[in-house]
Structure 1
């Protein structure tokens, strides 16, 4: 049971993060290549804006902001699950190859299958999930030793190897593709938020509406899985079954995010760590905080990135890497 003081701290933290997301979204709405004056944002929302202001806000900025926040939430939750089931603070869907597996599946679909305008938006999360689940199954198998069992540290090392191998496979795939499609895949690899339409919001939202409540429901199991195996077994937990179902959940969340944002790493690493530092290590407390932190971090990264250089800006994936890579190195040194 969570201590009342911890519950109060969590609620205050969640309130602060919700306000921060809205403030950042307000700033992001006004900034950009086609800027909108901040004092014109609220009147435009109320129906008093010009055609240009309405178009920029409702057709350009809001879909991108919504997608960025949802994708960041999905990546953060995926990272929190992976860190729990692997008992490894370095686990992240981008680092251990899940994002790369989803990306390879999407690339194959994009390059070699006929694309239907009406179904493409909704197919890519499914295709990404197939690619990610195959990759994660292979990573899991290679991380499992017959006489020892599942090895969390080995999973990270195997995952990094898979990520590198799949990136090489991606380069081979696009080397003979059309220039226009190569440009799209290159932007995807850099973590460029490319799904900037409300149809992409509808494509990713159902995954989160189902998987976020499911993960919160499984929070008590995640607490036990983060302990030693004998303790978890003694508490009546079917370890392998819970790991597999939670792993599938993490893969689905990562694939849904990757399908609209491209290859973005380190959000799933940073958000859970920051959440634990703020509200403690109980899953019931830090998971909601981690979800909001993920959305906020990716929104900040994308807002800064697209306003640094005009008109293209810097992809959000590069911005998160600039922040996350040093932190990953710090954690790696700390664990060795």
Structure 2
């Protein structure tokens, strides 16, 4: 009875969030300097729009919206994995320094490994993954105790320290390079959605097609790891092996997302936490909800940021931080 009630609640929540996401995307398409009236949206989607309408929809709006939704989903899933394997609801790829590690690698790749544009786009997530992986490995090693295993609180504190140190490295990189390249890194740091063409969609999509099903497949392992180590060991879970595999998955999701969206934090914190509050702690139930919440949060933040100030708007990362920072403080005080 409890199982069926939870499943019904999860399905209702899922379809409600999906409708909210679609409504947000529709509203976002019609907003901006190059407007597209809502009564012309469906005809344009069906190929009956004018040249201007098709340009606005297919070249300006849709690629950016797809990037924000996919990146938000990836960050939410990454946060859910990190919170599961560390048993700490404050874990987030942005807060514990994984995103910053990816950012340093992106900056180094951009500054010192020039390639043609086509190769650059597809190699960027790989460079971000390498930087995030090195950072995550260092944080993991500093947080691990041979007797007590992984220390969740130490992981958060170590991650915050690494994030600050890596931010300092980014400042050094900015101060030692040419102005035109500084602009790109500064926009990345602010969380400005810079990958807004179809090629960025194609570079991000394969990562999600592989890693999202893999995470869902590992949902039961995440349930066991989120309890405690004796229980997981008692049912035959190879704890360190599963943690490493899931940590690699979380790092890859976060790195792929921030390589095209910039340094965005708090999505991986808020989306899983809200999803658990809505449908409970079982990963089979709340992961799909967190996925939709992450996509909606970033799409909503980007829509607000694009339309509230000036021609360039406010970076989505700043809008998300304005929402997420108070939420993080609330969770910190609560826990």
Q: TM-score range by the shorter chain?
A: over 0.9
| Deviations 1:183-210, CA, capped at 9 Å, x for gaps | 0000000000000001100111111111
Q: Which runs of 5+ in 1 are unaligned?
A: none
1:88 maps to 88
Partners of 2:12 and 2:59 lie apart in 1 by 33
The aligned counterpart of 2:210 is 210
How far off is 1:18 after superposition? 1.3
Residue 147 of structure 1 deviates from its aligned partner by: 3.1
Q: Cα distance, 1:2 vs. partner?
A: 7.6
Q: Is the 8 A contact 1:106 1:124 kept in 2?
A: yes
CA contact (8 A) 1:92 1:268 kept: yes
- Provide the C-alpha distance between the structure 2 equivalents of 1:21 and 1:148, rounded to a whole number of angstroms: 42
Give the Cα separation in 2 of the matches to 1:2 and 1:198. 44
**Could you tell me which residue of structure 2 aligns to residue 231 of structure 1?**
231
TM-score, normalised via structure 1 length: 0.98
Instruction: State which drifts further: 248-257 or 6-15.
Output: 6-15
Write the mapping of 1:178-217 to structure 2, written as runs, cut at 5 A.
178-217=178-217
Question: 2:50, 2:132 → 1: CA distance?
Answer: 44
What is the CA deviation profile of residues 227-272 of structure 1, one whole-angstrom value per residue up to 9, with x for unaligned ones? 1111111111111111110000000000000000000000000000
Give the RMSD, CA atoms, in angstroms: 1.1
2:10 matched to which residue of 1? Answer: 10
**Which residue number in structure 2 is paired with residue 169 of structure 1?**
169
Deviation at 1:45, TM superposition (A): 1.4
- Give matches, 1:241-252, under 5 Å: 241-252=241-252
Q: How do 1:75-114 residues align onto structure 2 when only pairs under 5 Å count?
A: 75-114=75-114
Aligned residues: 335
Q: CA deviation at 1:114?
A: 1.4
The corresponding residue for 2:267 is 267
Structure 2, unpaired ranges of 5+:
none
TM-score normalized by the length of structure 2:
0.98
Is the contact between residue 33 and residue 310 of structure 1 (CA under 8 Å) also seen in structure 2? no
Task: After TM superposition, give the deviation of residue 145 of structure 1 in Å.
Answer: 2.1
Cα displacement string for residues 95-131 of structure 1 (whole angstroms, at most 9, x for unaligned residues): 0000000000000000111121221110000000000
Call closer, same or farther: CA 1:139–1:116 in 2, change over 3 Å. Answer: same
